[in-house]
Amino acid sequence: MDNYMCVAEMEVQAKSLWDAATRAYYVEGSDDQITLRENRKAYERFYIIPRYLVGIKSVDTSSTLFGKKYSMPIHCSPSALQKLAHPDGEVGTAKACKDMNIIMSVSILSSSSYAEITKGSSLNSTHWVQVYVLSDRSKTLKQIEIAQRYNFEALVVTIDAPVLGYRRSSKHLQLVDKPHVRYAMLNTIENSMDKKDELIYKFLLQFDKKSVSWNDIKWLRSITKMKIIVKGVNSIHDALMAVEVGCDAVWISNHGGRQLDSCPLRYIFCPRLNAL
C-alpha cells in the first residue's frame, strides 16, 4: 500500500491485473454511462472553504450513526463477488473495515459466507447486509434470519434495481470461471450447490418476477428489529415514503451509475433533502 499515492494509482494497478471480463464487470456503468461519468466529475465541483487561525490542536474525523461512533464518515458499500478481484474477497474487506472502525455492507452476491466475513469480529466491527425482496418471501426471510444469527445490525434494502442495468461490455464478455469464486449467500438461500450460472439464473428469476412496493418494506419492518435502510433513493417523494413506512435511514444513491442511466447525482439531490 505504501507504493500508492492515491486511489487513482491503485485503480490503474488493479485494472492491469484483471482479465477483460472482470475489468468490465467492476468498472462499467449502464447504457451510455452518463451517470458514471457525471459521478466522477461531480467531486471536481466541490470546493473547500478554509477557516484559518481558529486554534485547532487536534483533528477529529469521527462520526456517530445509530448511537455508534466510527473513525470517519466513510462506509464500504455492498459490492458483489469480491473474490474476482482478490482471493481474500469480502473477508479482506471486513478486516480492513474492522481495523479502520468503519461500516461494511455485504452484498447478497457475496463470494464469502456471513460466517467467514464476521469471523474475528470485535466491538469495532459493524456489518450491514444487502437485501433484495425476492418473490419467494421465505428466501428473503431466511437471509434475514442468517444475518441476525451473525449479528448484522441493519438491512440495506436495494430499491433501484427492478431490472438489471444494461452493461454493454459485460454482455459480450463471459466472466472467467474461477474455482474460489462462488455465490456463497445464494448457495445458502437456495439450499443448493448448483453451478454459478444456474444459481444466478434462479436468483434473477426471483429478482425480476414480482414488482416490489412500499408494502414490502412495511413487511420487512414487521418481521425484524434490525435497522432498515432503503438504498437507491433519488427523489424527495421516495425519501418521505421511506420515513412514513418506518425506515431508519435513506441511502441516497444512483448505484454508481450501474443501474438506470441519467439518474440524479447526489450532490444535486442531497441539499434539496437537507432543506426539508
Instruction: Kindly list the catalytic residues.
Output: 255
Q: Checking DSSP bridges between strand 227-233 and strand 68-70, what pairing results, if any?
A: unpaired
Give backbone dihedrals phi and psi of 100, rounded to 5 degrees, phi first: -90, -5
Residues 112/143, Cβ–Cβ less than 8 Å: no
The Cα-based distances of 69 to 76, 88, 93, 104, 247 in angstroms read 16, 27, 19, 14, 21
Q: How many CB atoms lie within 10 A of CB 151?
A: 12
Amino acid identity for residue 162 in this structure: P
Rounded CA separation 74/104 (Å): 10
Mention every residue, 6+ apart, whose C-beta is less than 8 A from residue 36. 28, 29, 30, 256, 257, 258
Rounded CA separation 183/175 (Å): 13
Residues 199/44, Cβ–Cβ less than 8 Å: no
Give backbone dihedrals phi and psi of 250, rounded to 5 degrees, phi first: -115, 145
